[in-house]
Amino acid sequence: MALTRYAPTPSGFLHAGNVANLERTAELARQLGAAVALRIDDADATRYRREYVDDIFRVLAVRGLDWDLGPRDTDDFEANFSQRRKTDYYREVLLESGLTTYACVCSRTTQCQTPTGGCVGHCRTAGHAWRPGHTALRVSVPPSTSIHVGGEMVRLDLEIGDLVIWRRDDLPAYQLVSVIEDRDLGTTHIVRGADLLASSAAQIFLARAIGADNVVTATYVHHALVVDAEGRKLSKSTMSSREGA
């Protein structure tokens, strides 16, 4: 059976772009007769606030968007579905994967360009120990790695390069969490904004190493973005008001 999902992140109140993605996901599900799961991506514990989850359920209710699998309210989510409780599970999946990784000491400020061929600190060959709180963990993306997604070809080594898979603060990176969650859900159709085409390619790359065949073969739909009056992509960090009322 076809399955798609809403996958909002509770790192801020939802904006019009987030709502557009929810509605396009629901429309695709109606067209396919697919089931819909609600997957709230709260693995980043540093940005989580309960009121943001309340907002997700509020917007879904206001927009009349229903789902078949997942939490029914904030209490149910926190008790039974929170990804923040699954850090050890994500670590276990990573350690059992076939991914080639290396510990990286570079900060975001020093790594200011795409880490094609490795990070600026040459950590790929430095032999640093993976020490939570001191080093992040990156995945080696071989040269000329091309990923076909949504009818397009993405040169992953040039677009994203050696991506961080486990953060310096000992939390799993979003890309890893998303692939594992979609694998476990059995997701077959994924709807994202057009700006996330390279992200989808990265997840297909990771999926091949953790047995997430359904993520590799999923149907990917990348829709146009909702922008502000000046043509800029909407961001939770720049939105001060709640959306969907």
Q: What is the DSSP string of 70-95?
A: S-SSHHHHHHHT-GGG-HHHHHHHHH
User: Does residue 79 form part of some domain?
Assistant: yes
Lookup: tokens for 146: 């091309």
Contacts of 227 (CB under 8 A, 6+ apart): 233, 234
In angstroms, the first-to-last Cα distance of the chain is: 33
Q: What is the pLDDT of residues 75-118, one digit of tens each?
A: 999 999 999 999 999 999 999 999 999 999 998 888 889 999 99
Within-domain flag for 243: no
Taking 90 as the threshold, does the pLDDT of residue 241 lie above it?
Answer: no
Q: pLDDT tens for residues 171-230?
A: 999 999 999 999 999 999 999 999 999 999 999 999 999 999 999 999 999 998 876 555
Question: Using alpha carbons only, how large is the chain's radius of gyration in Å?
Answer: 18
Cα–chain-centroid distance for residue 117? 23
Residue 227 located in a structural domain: yes
Amino acid identity at 245: A
pLDDT band at 45 (very low <50, low <70, confident <90, very high): very high
On the question of pLDDT at 240 being above 50, the answer is no
> What pLDDT score was predicted for residue 244?
45
Amino acid identity for residue 29 in this structure: A
**For residues 4 and 27, what is the distance between their CA atoms, to the nearest angstrom?**
11
pTM above 0.75, yes or no: yes
Which one, of 44, 74, 49, 79, lies nearest residue 61 by Cα?
A: 74
Contact 93, 178 (CB under 8 A): no
Note whether residue 33 is domain-resident.
Answer: yes
> Among 202, 241, 197, which residue's Cα sits nearest to residue 220?
197
Is pLDDT of 234 > 80?
no
SS3 56: helix
Domain enclosing residue 94, as ranges? 3-238
Q: Is residue 245 part of a domain?
A: no
**What six digits make up the tokens of 234?**
């909407």
Domain CATH for 51:
3.40.50.620
The reply to whether 105 falls in a domain is yes
* Domain count within the chain: 1
